[in-house]
Amino acid sequence: MAPADLPSGADGGGPVYELDIAAGDEISEPVVLSLYAGSSILDPMQGMQRWNPMNVDWEDVPAAVDTASAWISAALREPGLYRRGEVDPENRRPAK
């Protein structure tokens, strides 16, 4: 997503990805979003975050982190804006 298209306060911290669905539709089954982290995967705080427009802040998303392949993956049920970012340890688990 282009920085100019981000809501106020959501900029900074690297690329942002939008999970969007058709108007009125709901996500009935989880959608897996995988973000490539590259060498930053070795950062023990690296994980996935979702933009909360009500709180105007990024929130941690529980995600699996594969340090061998450098991917961060999460099963999502909500549309919105997602990015890599620093998360609490309980929201970062090793991939199986």
Tell me the pLDDT of the chain (96 aa) as tens digits: 777 788 887 776 778 888 887 655 677 888 999 999 888 777 888 999 999 999 999 999 999 999 889 999 999 988 899 999 999 999 999 988
Give dist(CA 50, CA 46) in Å, integer.
13
Give dist(CA 93, CA 73) in Å, integer.
10
pLDDT given at position 21: 75
